[in-house]
Amino acid sequence: LKDEVDKMERLSLVGQMAASITHEIRNPMAVIRGFIQLLNERSPNEHHSYFHIILQELDRANNIINDFLSLAQNRIVEKHTRKLNEVLEDLMPLISADANMRGQMIEVRIEEDIQPLDLNVKEIKQLMLNLVRNGMEAMTDKGVLRIELANVDDGVQLRVRDNGIGIPPEKLERLFEPFFTTKTNGTGLGLALCLSIVERHNGKIQVESKIGEGTSFIVSFNRPKAGMLGAGA
Ligand code: ADP
Ligand code: MG
């Protein structure tokens, strides 16, 4: 037990340091971004492509900081009894707007009476958005993204399926590594974050993929054991 406590204290110290360092980095970066934007507006046209690159890279660094912060604050999260379909429904306006902008289609299939689980809603939203965005980014403007929720024997299963480019077998095992990315503007932290969120919910995450056909991410959440929910036996 003492080892566990030591580990928790170390983790929370790292989390706190990450929070203050990222805060201290984000502020000067916001100032830099502001002045670059100003210079961009006042400079001759031939420099605009440079400013564009600088702004893009600043935004990329900022994304890394945000994702890293979520990953480093790997603390015990508060959970409440909620249904995954309600969390997904909250996100639909955002997801639909994203799909619209890309000219892609979203199909949602939710089974009746999805059973409630112990969830940290903020984290589950982050998980869903990361999987959905990856799916969208893997597809052209003719893509169809399907989101499914179904009850299974011992819990609930979330599937996010795209008909995009697919993932080559040799890359499959590296997907969840922090900083593994194949995108020019990727952070490679999205799936690492997804994995840590799923682990904090005692769930499992699996991938099925075929080159040129598409990819499914399958997250299995376990129903809380009898007696673990609220008071009682
Ligand atoms: P990022 O999206 O910033 O690259 P992620 O951790 O979210 O980082 O994903 C890591 C990598 O996994 C991506 O760069 C991509 O190569 C691959 N990947 C993830 N989701 C999909 C998907 N739905 N289809 C194809 N490749 C994917
Ligand atoms: Mg991603």
Residues 71-99: tens digit of each pLDDT: 777 666 789 999 999 999 999 999 999 99
- Nearest-angstrom CA–CA distance, 146 and 106: 6
> Which ligand is located closest to the Cα atom of residue 192?
1
Q: Which stretches in the chain have pLDDT values below 70?
A: 1-2, 4-11, 74-76, 226-233
Residues 6+ apart with CB under 8 A from 221: 84, 117, 119, 155, 156, 157, 158, 201, 202, 203
pLDDT of residue 170: 95
63 within 8 A of 70, measured Cβ to Cβ:
no
- Nearest-angstrom CA–CA distance, 192 and 204: 13
175 CA distance to ligand 2 middle (Å): 10
pLDDT of residue 9: 66
Indicate if ipTM > 0.90. Answer: yes
Residue 138 sits at φ, ψ, to 5 deg, of -90, -5
Closest atom of ligand 1 to CA, residue 162: 23
pLDDT of residue 227: 56
Q: 33-75, pLDDT tens digit by residue?
A: 999 999 999 988 889 999 999 998 998 898 888 888 877 776 6
